[in-house]
A and B are shown apart, each in its own frame.
Chain A
Amino acid sequence: MPFRALLYHCREALRGIARNGFMSLASVTTVAISLLVLTLFLLLGANLANVFTWVEEQVQIRAFLADDLTEARRELLMREIGRQEGVRSVTFIHKDQALQELADRLGTDAEILQGVDSINPLPHTLAIEVEPEHAERVAEMVAGMEGVDQVSEKGEMVRRLVAVTRVLRWGGVALMALLAVATVLVISNTIRLTVYARRQEIAIMKLVGATDSFIRAPFFIEGMLLGLAGSLLSVGGAWWAYGYAMTLAADSVPFLPMLPRDQLFADLLPALVAGGALLGVLGTNLSIKRFLRV
């Protein structure tokens, strides 16, 4: 396309946007909201995935040992557990060490432990690092072993979380699809208004021999601009929201790792901008097919 034709199409596209000011605004807003929801889902998804990797690394089975277990028996037990498939390591935690860890975790609240020092109620513990998919089996096996009083397994929680995210993910996909359809329809309607406003010009263009692609071009540019504007707004909104979420998380769940904002958005931005433009083009296409008939 020659440069002056492109210039002409862009000018016509901007005229179209200005002419349907309100509908253009509605389109941009719809694109922005749709993409904002999409972006938030993506951000949530990326962070959940990140948290899971972190949680999975924390999957640990704790076996609380009977008080009267001898050191030799304990060594035997540890070797036996270490041989199981999926077990990465077995570490012995002395009850005094466990108490110390508890005190550390409680921090300033540790004073409630005063007086417990002398009669440490905590058992000796084996910390078993295990691959998540083997956690359940290993936990059962360990529970049945002689000298093991009780087993606590955190794998169940992870599995439940994973199941919840799956639901979240599919729900998100469905919601995003619906929003994408709504966006396409709203853009299509805006373009339809421009087509309607320009029907006389279009008739004359056809009459004097303008090609179909020449007639269509400004409408595609208009749709694309609406999509782009919407996507940029949504990225701005998501940027702010993510920053806010990070501040909140830093206060309430500081131990949860969150992905750094700059990197995340650098990855997402091109896809979101392209997505907005694509929705615009799809909306235009729908309108052109139904109303322009060129």
Chain B
Amino acid sequence: MMPLLAIDSSAGRPGSPGGRGVAPMIEMYDVSVVFPNGARGLHKVNLRIAKGEFVFLVGPSGAGKSTFIRLIYREILPTSGQVYVLGRNLARLRRREVPYLRREVGVVFQDFKLLNDRTVYDNVAFALQVTGASPREVRKRVPAVLEMVGLAHKATCYPDELAGGEQQRVSVARAIANNPRIVLADEPTGNLDPDTARGIVELLLDINRLGATVVVATHALDIVSSHRQRVVELRDGRVVRDVERGLYRRAL
């Protein structure tokens, strides 16, 4: 059976901090974002996230977590500073290259963004079909990722027949369908009860263990505390804390 996520032999230990000889997946240098209405999204953020890391991005609403996520999948560009993803300077990335970047970056949202007129299977298959996968690839890949998120038995259901946590699992399945090297999640548990939320985070950790670099923006601090992962805290668009796993454990 083919691997669910590409595991590169040069990948860093899951959870290892950035730098120190490990290929950086995401780099930000003096990144500031000012929105057209004058609101400040981020202010002089410097950060490196290495291959294979799992990072919690925390902070109150409006701290800049979503802006941070949106920069990485190039929904927006920084007002100043440089963002590198997979070694590419996103400001230099041509329009027509953006889709190919996004195939390497899976994104999960708080509101799932599922198509309600399509089954679970078709929602996941959609991500593959519109990026030019052959029907054979789709038939192999979709059941595999549904199996991984634990929804193989709900393939023929429609999203509104599923519980919130299950819908989010479909959304995760779609995000990893193209076998991305980076998975981003923007408040993936915001609409879910704590137990279900825990399940989603476990799923994202599983995906990380299979080799993907994962960034999860959340303000569910209890979940963050119970997983000893790197935590980056944003406040008013600045990084006010960046705790590696070791440090964080000591802080507990």
A8, A210, A214, A215 — most chain B CB neighbours (10 Å): A210
0/1 string, B120-156, CB within 8 A of A gives 1: 0000001101111011000000000000000000000
State the Cβ distance, A167 to closest chain B Cβ, in Å: 49
- Known A-B contacts A4-B135, A5-B132, A207-B107; the reply to A212 vs B113 at CB < 8 A is no
Q: Of A8, A206, A211, which is within 8 A of B129 by CB?
A: A8
Question: Is A208 interfacial (CB-CB < 8 Å)?
Answer: yes
Q: Assess the B134–A208 pair: CB atoms within 8 A.
A: no
Contacts of B174 in A (CB 8 A): 208
Q: Assess the A210–B95 pair: CB atoms within 8 A.
A: no
Total of A-B residue pairs, C-beta within 8 Å: 51
- Please measure, in the bound complex, the distance between the C-alpha atom of A208 and the C-alpha atom of B107, giving whole angstroms: 8
- Known A-B contacts A200-B115, A210-B99; the reply to A205 vs B134 at CB < 8 A is no
Contacts of B131 in A (CB 8 A): 208-210, 214
Measured CB to CB, the nearest residue on chain B to A5 is: B132
Q: Assess the A203–B103 pair: CB atoms within 8 A.
A: no
0/1 string, A191-232, CB within 8 A of B gives 1: 000000000110111111111101100000000000000000
- Please measure, in the bound complex, the distance between the C-alpha atom of A2 and the C-alpha atom of B177, giving whole angstroms: 21
B177-234: which residues lie under 8 A (CB-CB) from chain A?
177-178
- Please measure, in the bound complex, the distance between the C-alpha atom of A5 and the C-alpha atom of B102, giving whole angstroms: 20
Question: Is B54 interfacial (CB-CB < 8 Å)?
Answer: no
Measured CB to CB, the nearest residue on chain B to A203 is: B113
Measured CB to CB, the nearest residue on chain B to A200 is: B115
- Please measure, in the bound complex, the distance between the C-alpha atom of A208 and the C-alpha atom of B126, giving whole angstroms: 9
- Known A-B contacts A2-B132, A200-B113; the reply to A209 vs B178 at CB < 8 A is yes
A2, A4, A8, A204 — most chain B CB neighbours (10 Å): A204
Contacts of B99 in A (CB 8 A): 206, 209-212
- Please measure, in the bound complex, the distance between the C-alpha atom of A8 and the C-alpha atom of B132, giving whole angstroms: 10
Q: Assess the A4–B96 pair: CB atoms within 8 A.
A: no
Name A residues whose Cβ lies closer than 8 Å to a Cβ of B: 2, 4-5, 8, 200-201, 203-212, 214-215
Q: Give 25 A-B contacts (CB < 8 Å), ordered by A residue.
A: A4-B134, A8-B129, A201-B126, A203-B113, A204-B115, A204-B127, A205-B126, A205-B130, A206-B99, A206-B102, A207-B107, A208-B103, A208-B126, A208-B127, A208-B130, A208-B174, A209-B99, A209-B101, A209-B103, A209-B131, A210-B99, A210-B130, A210-B131, A212-B95, A214-B132
Other than the given A206-B99, A208-B103, A214-B132, 6 more pairs (CB < 8 A) read: A201-B126, A207-B113, A208-B106, A208-B131, A209-B100, A209-B103
